[in-house]
Structure formats: structure tokens, C-alpha cells
Structure 1
């Protein structure tokens, strides 16, 4: 597996894909690649994540996908196990970035959707339809979009190309913010494990360039 890490690190640092992601004429000189973490038990069982590690075999999948990622100047990740283990396959220094932490599901963390639906159907219904709802006592979808949007727009001196490993919900929130869409649109963005989403632009003016399935 160490050889796989080295292979991934070598190839992700030398990919020429990054050049197709710039558009200097329009001033789009900042590129942010949002790499969704690998599969976990929470993803597999439709559960609200707690701090699960990657599934068995997910690290090998991440090693295979890493060479398809564009070259970047820096890598950021929150401190969750799933994101740190995904980022580790790049074989690079990873900066801790608390603003990229996953959605706080409060008392629902670690529970399956079916379990919550049986115990609190009204709360789950509100959460699924109202972006301001937080029946679990954690963050609302509106809170998440605002937090991630502040992270994007607060990058006053960012590296020109940054890769951020994050939960799917964080990636979806970044897309919603970039498009200027309402928080309800978060449910309309599909982000698969190990997919890469590319935003280009500058703080306050982002464009969605692509959402690439794993390995594409």
C-alpha cells in the first residue's frame, strides 16, 4: 500500500490537467478542487456521519483516483478520520482546516435515516424540507451553506490551486454558494464518494467548472 501512496503522490503532483482549469482573460486565477472523501459505513448504510473511518478497500480506491486529480499548490482537510485518511493517499502535507468540517447533525450523528424517521418523523420531515430546520440540535442546511460560503469568500490570499478533502455535504454547500442558489438547492446536487468538484474564480465570484466522477 505504501507503493500505492507513492504512485498517487507522484502522479497528482505532475498532472497537466490544472492548465485546462484556468481562464486568465476572465480573471479566474484561483482553482479549488473539492475532493469528496472515500466510502464509509455511514455512506453505505444511509446514516448521519459521526467520525467513522474509511471502509475496508476505500483507501485503495482513493489511491487509484488520486492520479486523476489536477495538480495543486496545497491540500486542506478537516480533522475527521474519513477526510484525513482520504487525504493521506496524496503523500503530501495536509493543512488542518476546521471550516471544512462536516455538517453537525447533533443528536442524529451515527444514526441511520430509517432510525431517525421512525423515532422523530416530524423532525426528519422538517429537516428534509426546511433548510433552516435543525431538529437534531446541530447545524441547519442554511448554516452549512453560510459557513462554507464564508470559507470560500474569506480566501483573500489563497494558493492559486487548492485541493480540499471534505464531506459530500460540504462540497454540495460550496456548489450552492458558487451558483448563488438558495440553500434548498443543496438537495439537488449529487456528490459521489471520491468525486472531484472544481470551482474557479475569486472570493465573491465563483463558477462551477465541473463535477467529475471518481477516476474520470
Structure 2
């Protein structure tokens, strides 16, 4: 039995391009076009999941995936910072932003800490063990970072050192109760 999982970061949204903490906006036109260029190139997919957000559901739709919504794949809860520009938060709350990016247990925005996100994602990954086939999950950069930290058993402080761009992918394999990172890249069409 073998489980292959490809995680794909959603295509670019307005918040992505404006360096803002997102709300539930959809894809920007350029992001939509880049996702369309990958449509139909994922190969065999036995099942797919998407985070609840509009931008992940739209990415799955453009890629031609019929995906189940999975709450565990939701973006990190940004609390009071949601919808605000990064520069605005940095100017108004420099200590809070610095604490959040330095301390994985911190959540100065009254949202979710990185440690909370890591626990949520690790629980979801554990629940997938024992399945067989090729699966795709359309999610957020933060979730992909959390998956990588979990699979590699890396220090949670490494979370912010992983750059995940729109349509970036991570390919994983689970076998005998253990996850392995197979590849990380920017051409999701070669991901499945």
C-alpha cells in the first residue's frame, strides 16, 4: 500500500500580489491564467481535497479537480490582521509581528499560532495513513509550510524559512506509517 499526496498552493489572489493578509478573496486574473496553463496536467488523481477558501476552491476548479472541502487545510487564522496589508501591520504592531515570526507559540493577532497550525496539519496527515492512491490537496502556503515542518520533523522556528509561492507544490509519500518528501517545486503539472 502506498499513498502519494501532492499539495498545491492556490494560484495568486489580490492579497498575494499586494502583500496583504488575506480575507476570502478569489483569484486574480493572472493567477487564474497560470492555473489554467496547468489544467489537465496532473495525471492520475484518485481523490482531491481543497481548503474552504474561495481561492483554493477556484484553483481546484481551474485545474479540473473535483475536490472535497477539508477544514484542516484552511489557512492559518490571522485574527485581527486578516484583510490588512503587511506594511500596515508592521507599522502599527511591529512588536507583535516580530513576536509572531520569531515565536511559533505566539498569536498576537488573536488568531492561530504556528504551533496550533502545525498540530492541526499533523493530525490531518496522521488521519490519511492507511489510504492507498494518488491524492491532491489545494491549500495555502502556510499549510504547506506546516506539512513540511511536520514531515521533516523540523524545528517549528523554521516555518518562516520556507518560501511557498502560488502554484508551488510539495510531493509526499506515505509508506508503513512514515511520510517522505519526494519533491518540492514550482511546476505543479509534474506533481502527481
Q: TM-score, normalised by structure 2?
A: 0.92
Aligned partners of 2:46, 2:180: CA distance in 1, in Å?
Answer: 20
1:127 Cα offset (Å)? 0.6
2:9 matches 1:36: yes
- Deviations for 1:88-136, whole angstroms, at most 9, x for unmatched residues? 0233421111110000000000111110111111111101111110000
The 8 Å contact of residues 37 and 82 in structure 1, kept in 2 or not, is answered as yes
Moved more, 43-52 or 201-210: 201-210
The 8 Å contact of residues 129 and 174 in structure 2, kept in 1 or not, is answered as no
* Consecutive unaligned residues in structure 2, runs of 5 or more: none
Aligned partners of 1:45, 1:163: CA distance in 2, in Å?
Answer: 27
1:191 Cα offset (Å)? 1.2
Counterpart of 1:104 in structure 2 is 77
The 8 Å contact of residues 3 and 175 in structure 2, kept in 1 or not, is answered as yes
2:63 matches 1:90: yes
Matched residues, number: 189
Counterpart of 1:63 in structure 2 is 36
Higher relative contact order (CA 8 A, sep 6+): 2
The 8 Å contact of residues 48 and 136 in structure 2, kept in 1 or not, is answered as yes
Change in 2 beyond 3 A, CA 1:114/1:75: same
Q: CA RMSD in A?
A: 1.6
Aligned partners of 2:34, 2:89: CA distance in 1, in Å?
Answer: 30
The 8 Å contact of residues 39 and 64 in structure 2, kept in 1 or not, is answered as no
Give the greater-gyration-radius structure (CA). 1
The 8 Å contact of residues 148 and 174 in structure 1, kept in 2 or not, is answered as yes
